[in-house]
């Protein structure tokens, strides 16, 4: 099974004591730049929308600082502007965010093994979809300094974008805004397609997940399930079948390092 071994590594034996020279803060920060640029536009739209919905100007900024998540924050300004009850807030946000449990579980397997709990707890705050996606591309175990670099870079973009969006109101013309709407999706495509080209099992998992996701969105009756659940169900079913039919052997995983 060529290719998939690049994506699931075992810890290399040549480096010891959690000292992985490749994944520096600088490298993390650099890898965070495309994410930050994507975030600028999305957070900009978020800030504008929040102002349009009549929220107090400080609230979208506080949301971005404390939440650092896309979908949840967009849902949040709807919840606030419709004066939602607290249980509705809890339920909606949890359903949207439950996918993070799977991503964090996956990420936990890629961190350097001796990383202390407090560092893991700091990293957890920055485990957004995009940062997770870029981390996925790294072949070495992820170090704290690399994670700090990528998170700080992306976090700056997210908050700068929010502030700019709030200040600008709707200064950005609509035609530019709609064109930017596709940016983050395109980035995800750039993350998943190259590995899929190398590995047939990954390609099959992706195709299956896309088909399932389309069924969930377009077939009447089950299309009202909500995005949070749909993503989980599609991800678990497609990866579950992938793992069943194309289990990775130890050899695959060991070949992973180089």
Partner 1 sequence: MSIGKVLLVISIMALCTYLPRMLPLALFRRKIKNQYISSLLCYLPYGILAAMVFPDIFSSTASIISGIAGTATALLLAYRKRGLLPVAVSACVTVFVAERLLELIGIL
DSSP SS3 for 226:
coil
Task: State the minimum distance, in angstroms, from the CB of residue 252 to partner 1.
Answer: 9
Asked if 249 and 5 touch (Cβ cutoff 8 Å), the reply is: no
Alpha carbons 249 and 128: distance in angstroms, whole number: 29
DSSP H helices, 169-255, are 174-180, 183-198, 200-218, 227-245, 250-254
Min dist. Cβ of residue 66 to partner 1 (A)? 4
Residue closer to partner 1 by CB (options 89, 257) is 89
In the stretch 228-247, what mask flags binding to partner 1 with x, by CB under 8 A? Answer: --xxx-xxxxxxx-xxx-xx
Helix, strand, or coil (residue 3): coil
Q: Which of residues 158-197 bind partner 1 (CB under 8 A)?
A: 174-176, 178-197
Least distance (Å) from partner 1 to the CB of residue 54? 10
CB of 147 to partner 1, least distance (A): 11
14 vs 105 by CB, closer to partner 1: 105
Q: Phi first, then psi: what are they for 226, rounded to 5°? A: 100, 145
Minimum CB distance to partner 1 smaller for 149 or for 201: 201
DSSP per residue, 79-131: HHHTT--HHHHHHHHHHHHTHHHHHHHHHHTTB-TT--HHHHHHHHHT--HHH
Residue tagged 């200040």 (tokens): 167
Nearer to partner 1, 171 or 189 (CB): 189
Binding residues for partner 1 restricted to 119-158, rule: CB under 8 A: 120-121, 123-125, 127, 129, 132-134, 136
**With contact defined as beta carbons under 8 Å apart, do 129 and 14 qualify?**
no
Among 22, 90, 168, 225, binds partner 1 (CB under 8 A): 90
Residues 26, 150: Cα–Cα separation, whole Å: 9
Cα distances (Å, whole numbers) of residue 248 to 31, 109, 136, 191, 254: 28, 15, 17, 21, 10
Phi, psi of 141 (to 5 degrees): -60, 140
Choose the binding region for partner 1 from 15-23, 45-53, 65-73, 152-160 (rule: CB under 8 A).
Answer: 65-73
> Is 23 or 134 the residue whose CB approaches partner 1 more closely?
134
Q: Which is nearer to partner 1, 23 or 202 (CB)?
A: 202
Interface with partner 1 in residues 67-86 (CB under 8 A): 67-69, 72-73, 76, 79-81, 83-84, 86
Q: Give the three-state DSSP class for 142.
A: strand
Q: Site size for partner 1, by CB under 8 A?
A: 114
- Among residues 22, 57, 101, 222, which is the contact residue for partner 1, using CB under 8 A? 101
* Residues between 190 and 229 that touch partner 1 (CB under 8 A): 190-197, 201-202, 205-210, 212-214, 217-218, 227
If the CB atoms of residues 23 and 230 are measured against partner 1, the closer one turns out to be 230
Residues 22-61 that bind partner 1 (CB under 8 A): 33-35, 37-38, 55-56, 59
């Amino acid at each position: 099974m060529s290719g998939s071994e690049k994506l699931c590594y075992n810890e290399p034996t040549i480096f010891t004591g959690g000292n992985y020279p490749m994944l520096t803060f600088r490298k993390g920060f650099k890898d965070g730049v495309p994410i930050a640029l994507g975030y600028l536009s999305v957070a900009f739209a978020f800030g504008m929308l929040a102002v349009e919905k009549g929220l107090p100007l400080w609230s979208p900024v506080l949301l971005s600082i404390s939440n650092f998540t896309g979908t949840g924050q967009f849902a949040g300004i709807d919840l606030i502007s419709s004066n939602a009850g607290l249980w509705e807030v809890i339920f909606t946000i949890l359903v949207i965010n439950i996918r993070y449990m799977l991503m964090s579980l996956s990420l936990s397997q890629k961190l350097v093994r001796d990383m202390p709990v407090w560092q893991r707890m700091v990293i957890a705050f920055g485990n957004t979809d995009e940062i997770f996606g870029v981390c996925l591309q790294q072949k070495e175990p992820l170090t704290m300094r690399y994670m700090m670099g990528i998170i700080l870079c992306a976090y700056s973009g997210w908050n700068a974008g929010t502030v700019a969006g709030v200040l600008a109101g709707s200064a950005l013309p609509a035609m530019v805004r709609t064109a930017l709407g596709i940016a983050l999706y395109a980035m995800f495509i750039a993350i998943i397609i190259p590995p899929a080209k190398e590995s047939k099992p990954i390609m099959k998992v992706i195709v299956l997940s896309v088909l399932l996701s389309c069924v969930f969105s377009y077939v009447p009756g089950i299309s009202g399930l909500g995005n949070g659940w749909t993503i989980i169900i599609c991800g678990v079913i497609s990866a579950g079948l992938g793992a069943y039919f194309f289990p990775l052997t130890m050899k695959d995983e060991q070949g992973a390092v180089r």
